[in-house]
Structure 1
Amino acid sequence: MKNTYSTNLNLQHVDLGLLIFRLAISALMLTHGIPKLIKFFGSEEIAFADPLGLGEITTFTLAVFAEFVCSVLVILGLGTRLAVLPLIGTMAVVALIVHVPDGFGRQELPLLYLTGWILLFFTGAGKYSLDWYFLSKKK
């Protein structure tokens, strides 16, 4: 009987897994970022949580930057390790400050996003990314 479990990593599978994960988590984050971007450029008054005391507009702008711009960068795999830093910060604030009074049910999704962004910070974008393309051209 063939052993189907191995602890050896297949790097092609890891790179494909990172691509799928990057695309999925970023696309899901865009479902939060796109409505904020539309609201940002709309005529509606912006009312947004300000847990760090930076001002509602500043906090909202940072959230739009993280959830939209940085998610697009992660999809492209461009500057991935830097792009996830604002996403990590945003999700940490949402999970550990904004939704603390609401209980774990409201903290669960931002904690899942936070975990995913931390994973991408440590792994990078993988082979199927613009990071890989530009870095391999330099060599």
Structure 2
Amino acid sequence: MIYNFLFPTKPNTTKVSLLLLAVRIIFGILLMNHGIQKWSNFQELSAVFPDPLGIGSPISLGLAIFGELVCSMAFIVGFLYRLAMIPMIFTMIVAFFIVHANDAFAVKEMAFIYLIVFIIIYIAGPGKFSIDHIIGNELQRRKSKSYKK
């Protein structure tokens, strides 16, 4: 019992999957709030939003909203999980290393926290409680059913 706690051998246990679900919900909602704020103030922000990639402020703002709002929703439910996380991670990389590059760490700390959490959870995967897991199980069931024919 204590060995399983100290040295877990099953990374996709129900406990781990519940923890991954909790992290997805918490960090997904937190990031989604940033996207909602940007979206609701699009007109005002589009003229002054940073343009670190040289593609124009409105497009940069639109990409940030996509990464923070749309991808957060997919992240929360675990749908196309790793694909949805790429824009989220990219947005935090740009925020931390480019937009706030010369700011004090206290200013860019939130982007750093999101970045680290998203990289770790990207590696960990969505867990059992995700749409991707359901789709994966169905694909596996169909594949094994077709081999039996």
> Above 0.5 in TM-score?
yes
Contact 1:22-1:75 at 8 Å conserved across structures: yes
Work out whether residues 84 and 120 of structure 1, in 8 Å CA contact, stay in contact via their aligned partners in 2. Answer: no
Counterpart CA distance in 2 for 1:62 and 1:54 is: 10
Q: Which amino acid aligns with 2:30?
A: L
Residue aligning to 2:29: 27
Which residue in the other structure is 2:63 paired with?
A: 62
The alpha-carbon distance between structure 1 residues 105 and 124, as it changes in their structure 2 partners (threshold 3 A), is same
> Which residue number corresponds to residue 8 of structure 1?
8
Larger Rg: 2
| Structure 2 SS opposite 1:125 | coil
The equivalent residue for 2:132 is: 131
Distance, in Å, in 2 between the alignment partners of 1:64 and 1:77 is 19
TM-aligned CA distance change 1:107 to 1:135, over 3 Å = same
The answer to whether the Cα contact below 8 Å between 2:17 and 2:127 also exists between their aligned partners in 1 is yes
User: What TM-score do you get using the length of structure 2 for normalisation?
Assistant: 0.84
Match of 1:48, SS state, is coil
Q: CA deviation at 1:20?
A: 0.5
Q: Distance in 2 between matches of 1:6 and 1:61?
A: 44
Q: Tell me how far apart the structure 1 counterparts of residues 45 and 96 of structure 2 sit (CA, whole Å).
A: 25
Please report how far the alpha carbon of residue 15 of structure 1 lies from its aligned counterpart in structure 2 after TM superposition.
Answer: 0.7
Cα distance in 1, alignment partners of residues 22 and 100 from structure 2: 29
Root-mean-square deviation (CA), in Å?
1.7
Judged with a 3 Å threshold, the aligned counterparts in structure 2 of structure 1 residues 101 and 14 are, in CA distance, closer, same or farther, namely same
Residue 44 (structure 1) shift: 3.9
Q: Which amino acid aligns with 1:34?
A: I
**Is the CA contact (8 Å cut-off) linking 1:73 and 1:83 kept in structure 2?**
yes
Amino acid at match of 2:123: F
**Structure 2 residue ranges without an equivalent (≥5):** 141-149
| 1: CA distance, partners of 2:86 / 2:9 | 27
- CA separation in 2, counterparts of 1:3 and 1:45? 53
Q: Contact between 2:32 and 2:69, CA under 8 Å: does it hold in 1?
A: yes
User: Structure 2: how far apart are the matches of 1:6 and 1:96?
Assistant: 36
Q: Is the 8 A contact 1:30 1:71 kept in 2?
A: yes
Aligned length: 136
Give the letter aligned to residue 27 of structure 1: I
What are the within-5 Å matches in structure 2 for residues 1-139 of structure 1?
A: 3=2, 5-9=5-9, 11-40=13-42, 43-44=43-44, 46=46, 47-139=48-140
Unaligned runs of 5+ in 1: none
TM-score, length of structure 1 as denominator length = 0.90
Distance 1:50 1:134, change over 3 A: same
